[in-house]
Amino acid sequence: MGWCERPAVAECDTMEGLIGRTPDLRELLIGLGYNPRHEREAASLMQDLIAGIRAEILSFEALQKAVLSALSRSAELPHGPSAFLNSLAMAGNLESATAVLNEDPVHDQVPFVEQIPVLKNGMIRWQSPVHHSLIRKRPADPPRFRSTLAELEKLFGTSHPARAETARLAVIEAVERLRRELDRDTSYLPTSLQYLEMKVTEYRTCSLKPRAQEWLQILMAVLERVVKLRNEIESTGRCDVRAVAEQAVRYLSTPRIHTRGLTSYLLILLLDKRLLTVTRRVSRSQVKAMDLIRGEIAGGSYDAGETVGRLRRLEAEGFYIPSVVYPLLEVSAARPALT
């Protein structure tokens, strides 16, 4: 029979902590398309790209005239762009106007200057013109910007079986589009950067394949619930064992999410001495035997088949063992160990 890895448990647990210390659970999540490290790295690289953009005003006098003209049409604008336009109009010199533009040069774009309204299919859409004669928005450090862009491209360089390939390729295409714009003498990057940002977000939020998404939702729901139940036991000294058993049943009904580490975590909860009941008086030696079994599972040094036999004997001697414990032990025997 198989041997189970150690599912070490902290006094107050978290989902992140459980995932972090359980290698096979972490591997399963990555296989289902959930990779927080990948998401953090992508978000950090996007943040670096956006933070590296600086605005440059080519003609302050011409920009002032354009802003005043835009103000005459500010009634057409929602509050956010209108307030930004007013702030820019109040800037009395080149330095203060540049400072306003650089508060968020990628997402704050001067209406009727950096973006113009276009009527399409009966709807007004705001688009950036091909040429910008008043404002440039480019990297302050082009070599660093190119290096960061290459890192982002590399991060999305490999396909993932749980995610739609079209979404990954859309990110790569957006990177190439931004790089082409960067190579232009009159480059203006906010539009291409916004497009890349959108494609990275779509990959994170919308690219999971249906089955992977279904399995991941079930797994995350089970993790969230069992960690909450475990902390309830630690904080109050009690918990409805049926609530733990319900999560175990849900877990068992989805073989794709079975791992040794999570199986052991569930077993430890179900066999917690604060939850177990007895059908008749048991001896100290029998209580000690149950403690040893729990200790073996917590430490990872147990044989699932032998543990079933020992629990059966203790059950015959008066312990009430939740029935779901036995199929969990079958799962632990079937899963290969991870080190």
Rounded CA separation 100/64 (Å) = 13
Using a 10 angstrom Cβ sphere, with 0-12 exposed, 13-18 middle and 19 or more buried, the burial of residue 149 is buried
Determine how β-strand 123-127 pairs with β-strand 116-120. antiparallel
Q: What is the Cα–Cα distance from 308 to 314, expressed in whole angstroms?
A: 10
Three-state DSSP at 323 gives coil
Any idea where the domains of the chain sit in the sequence?
15-33+210-334, 53-136, 141-206
Task: Give me the tens of pLDDT residue by residue for the chain, a chain 339 residues long.
Answer: 333 344 444 467 899 999 998 999 999 999 999 999 999 999 999 999 999 999 999 999 999 999 988 888 877 777 667 888 888 989 989 999 999 999 999 999 888 888 777 767 777 777 777 677 899 999 999 999 999 999 999 999 999 999 999 999 999 999 999 999 999 888 899 999 999 999 999 999 999 999 999 999 999 999 999 999 999 999 898 888 999 999 999 999 999 999 999 999 999 999 999 998 988 999 999 999 999 999 898 887 789 999 999 999 999 999 999 999 999 999 988 765 544
**236 contacts 197 by C-beta, under 8 angstroms:** no
CA distance 192 to 85: 22
CB 260 within 8 A of CB 337: yes
